[in-house]
Amino acid sequence: MDNPLHYLQLALNEARKSPPKPTNYCVGALLLDTSTATPTIVTTGYTLECPGNTHAEQCCFIKLAAKHNLPEERVGEVLPEEGCVLFTTMEPCAYRASGNITCVERILRCGRIKTVVSGVREPDTFVEGNNGRSILEKAGVKCIYVRGLEEEILEVAKAGHVQQNDEMK
25: containing domain: 4-160
Specify if 146 maps to a domain.
yes
Question: Which residues are tagged catalytic?
Answer: 57
Q: Is residue 167 part of a domain?
A: no
Sheet containing strand 113-120, edge to edge, reads: 40-46, 28-33, 84-90, 113-120, 142-145
- Per-residue model confidence (pLDDT) at position 166: 42
Q: How confident is the model at residue 167 (pLDDT cuts 50, 70, 90)?
A: very low
165 in a domain, yes or no? Answer: no
Number of domains observed in the structure of the chain: 1
- State the pLDDT at residue 160: 85
Task: Read off the CATH number of the domain in which 141 is found.
Answer: 3.40.140.10
What is the amino acid identity at position 49?
Answer: E
Q: Looking at residues 61-89, what average pLDDT do you find?
A: 95
pLDDT tier for residue 100 given thresholds of 50, 70 and 90: confident
Neighbouring CB atoms inside 10 A of 51's CB total: 8
Q: What is the pLDDT of residue 111?
A: 94
What pLDDT, in 10s, does the model give residues 121-163? 877 666 666 788 899 999 999 999 999 999 999 999 999 887 6
| Residue 169 falls inside a structural domain | no
Radius of gyration of the chain measured on its C-alpha atoms = 15
Mean pLDDT of the chain: 90
pLDDT of 74 reads 95
